[in-house]
Amino acid sequence: MKEIKVGLLGFGTVGSGLAEVLLQQAERLRRKTGASIRLCRVADIRLEALPPQFKDVELVRDADLIFKDPEIDIVVELIGGIEPAKTFLLRAIEHGKHVVTANKALISQHGMEIFEAATRKNVEVGFEASVGGGIPVIKALKEGLVANKILSIMGIMNGTANYILNKMTDEGMAFAEVLKEAQAKGYAEADPTYDVEGIDTAHKLVILMTMAYGMRVSLADVSIEGISQIEPIDIDFAREFGYRIKLLAISRNHGDTVEARVHPTMVPEKDMLANIGGAYNGIQFTGDMVEDILLYGQGAGKMPTGSAVAADVVDIARNILCNSVNRVPCLSYLPEEIKSRGITPMESLRCCYYFRMTAMDKPGVLSAIAGILAHHRISIESVIQKARHKKGTVPIVMMTYEAEEASVRKALAEIDALDICTDKTVKIRIMKAHAE
């Protein structure tokens, strides 16, 4: 029987997950591919020994023992972070190895360098696990939706942020409180910045946009806002208006330019994205032929991510067995077809907005605020002014009709400069409900 040999860099959570998957599913994969797909060597500098079930797997400290082994077909990088992961991936490619990674930070920031190196050596780069954990989102985009112009990408791509927002929504807890609890339970990192400030989500959006549109995108192209400023009161008002607040990655394709943004968004409560619970991810593509497709599942975790990494390994194994390497271009479009394209300036975005002003409880306040909005041609769809809030201030909450981001920014700057406004206005963009 033919054998495909896999070398693994990094035996942390996801690395040991992949090892488990390949071990537990070995017989199933043989029944599907006719070959043995075997993890034969692991490089990890922190380990003394592998767990006993991996007695046939060799543990080494020097990653070169993987790159330079002519028997190894596929090198899987599950170290995470930029270095030494990047150097290792490039070295593996230089040695003619196919590579698989779950490293979204690396792929979103240094993907082009890696893909170009792989093209030169005619090896494959698998990165299914870099977006949406166990969900086969990249395969769906590259293959299932191959015959579509992608009109938009919209999704919940960070489980930690979604978990925190859901907990705030369901239990009325404050952001800091939920974060603390999530950290205690191991759902959030000690430094949660990447997750809660939208950076991790932006990494994933960059990867999806590259493939969806066949373009070069960099992290700097993405307008990013996180969820740390969201307060329970905003979640309550959202509920009152029939919305839930979600951290969304959004990219709409305008032809000449494409949007690239990550921010808290009010999602209509009937929308599938509003109903993504817990730490799950949900990623929606709209294609010109297929209309809306949503893929939902575990966006992280040892075994789900291991499942996605293993799917890449099997995909490449099949290409090795059939001699059909790079049968599907790794960025969906052929390398020479990847173009540069403009990013829609955030200022020209048009959408509906939620504003929460905090103002003195005095006559004339609403009139002053409404006057500034009118001056900037921002039409108010509805307004709620509730009873006194704290120390003589009241929250004034508004939902607008579609307005331009540039006008909104100017208007809010003027409003926040009013003496009667005591806090900075909270602004949350609203996702339109689908026409039924």
Task: State both tokens at 373.
Answer: 């909005």
Catalytic residues: 204
In the block, residue with structure tokens 């709409």: 252
**Alpha-carbon torsion (15, 20, 25, 29), positive or negative:** positive
CB within 8 A of 166, min separation 6: which ones?
277, 278
Task: Give the helix/strand (H/E) hosting 226.
Answer: none
Out of 176, 290, 374, 413, point to the residue binding a copy of itself (CB under 8 A). 290
409 to 48, 251, 428: CA distances (angstroms): 56, 21, 12
Q: Is 14 annotated as a binding residue?
A: yes
136 binds a copy of itself (CB under 8 A): yes
433 binds a copy of itself (CB under 8 A): no
| Minimum CB–partner distance for residue 82 and a copy of itself (Å) | 27
Q: Is 309 annotated as a binding residue?
A: no
| Minimum CB–partner distance for residue 149 and a copy of itself (Å) | 7
**Closer residue to a copy of itself in complex, CB, 99/215:** 215
Q: Which stretch binds a copy of itself (CB under 8 A): 76-84, 97-105, 220-228, 320-328?
A: 320-328
Out of 175, 296, 353, 355, point to the residue binding a copy of itself (CB under 8 A). 296
Q: Is 206 annotated as a binding residue?
A: no
Out of 36, 109, 257, 319, point to the residue binding a copy of itself (CB under 8 A). 319
Selection from 115, 110, 341 nearest residue 212 by Cα: 341
Report 200-219 residues binding a copy of itself (CB under 8 A).
214
155 binds a copy of itself (CB under 8 A): no
Per-position b or e across 86-112, b if 16+ CB within 10 A of its CB: bebbbbbbebebbbbbbbbbbbbbbbb
Q: Is 189 annotated as a binding residue?
A: yes
Q: Is 205 annotated as a binding residue?
A: no
Burial class of residue 12 in the structure, from the number of CB atoms within 10 Å of its CB (0-12 exposed, 13-18 middle, 19+ buried): middle
Cα(298)–Cα(143) distance, rounded to whole angstroms?
21
Q: Is 175 annotated as a binding residue?
A: no
Helix, strand or coil, per DSSP, at residue 387: coil
**Closer residue to a copy of itself in complex, CB, 152/422:** 152
Report 297-316 residues binding a copy of itself (CB under 8 A).
297-298, 301, 303-304, 306-308, 310-311, 314-315
Q: Is 111 annotated as a binding residue?
A: no
Cα(420)–Cα(415) distance, rounded to whole angstroms?
9
Out of 108, 130, 332, 358, point to the residue binding a copy of itself (CB under 8 A). 332
Q: Is 424 annotated as a binding residue?
A: no
Phi, psi of 161 (to 5 degrees): -65, -40
Per-residue interface string for the shown chain with a copy of itself, residues 9-48, x marking contact by CB under 8 A? ------------xx-xx--xx-xxxx--------------
**Closer residue to a copy of itself in complex, CB, 226/329:** 329
**Closer residue to a copy of itself in complex, CB, 227/276:** 276
Task: State both tokens at 152.
Answer: 């938009």
What is the distance, to the nearest Å, from the Cα of residue 185 to the centroid of all Cα atoms in its chain? 22
76 to 5, 18, 92, 213: CA distances (angstroms): 11, 9, 9, 27
Q: How many residues bind to a copy of itself according to rule CB under 8 A? A: 66
Phi, psi of 125 (to 5 degrees): -125, 115
322 binds a copy of itself (CB under 8 A): yes
| Identity of the residue numbered 169 | T
* Paired strand residues for 353: 429
CB within 8 A of 332, min separation 6: which ones?
141, 142, 146, 211, 212, 214
Q: Which residues of the chain form contacts with a copy of itself (CB under 8 A)? A: 21-22, 24-25, 28-29, 31-34, 128, 134-136, 139-140, 143-149, 214, 270, 272, 275-278, 287-298, 301, 303-304, 306-308, 310-311, 314-315, 318-319, 321-324, 327-329, 332-334, 337, 436
Binding residues for L-homoserine: 189
Sequence ranges of the binding site for NADP(+) = 9-16
